[in-house]
Amino acid sequence: MIWKVPGLLAAAMIAASPPSATTQTLRVEPRATIKVDIEVCAPAVYLEARGNGKSDLDFIIYDPEGEWVHSDLDDTDIVFQKLENPVAGTSCLIFVLEVINQGAVPNDLLIEVKDA
């Protein structure tokens, strides 16, 4: 895990390569945004991010080029997404999970990355 905390933006790196499952818990402060780097070395992984139910979390996932992959902007604090690496075996890719806490209370977020 690589942690960086520049100002109010927290970042972490979660790596997943076969066979593996990686979990990490992060606190998302009220009305705050964090970004988490997800390193994908396997051909495909499942990303699950689940909050503690105390506030609405919005999720946006970007590919290594910064292009939008998926967003979950509903009133829940959970997201599921399959991330694919077409160059697995020769290179890892880093996706970015952006998490926005829409609530007035902190939310403890559990992120799990496992082989697809």
Domains of the chain by residue range: 2-91
Instruction: Provide the pLDDT for residue 101.
Output: 98
Instruction: Provide the pLDDT for residue 29.
Output: 97
Instruction: Provide the pLDDT for residue 15.
Output: 53
Instruction: Provide the pLDDT for residue 21.
Output: 75
Residues 96-101: what's their mean pLDDT?
Answer: 98
Q: Cα–Cα distance between 104 and 84 in angstroms, integer?
A: 34
Give me the percent of the chain exceeding a pLDDT of 70: 83
* Sheet strands (E) in the chain: 2-4, 10-16, 21-28, 33-40, 44-50, 57-62, 68-72, 78-84, 93-101, 107-115
Q: Tens digit of pLDDT for each residue in 12-49?
A: 555 544 456 789 999 999 999 999 999 999 999 999 99
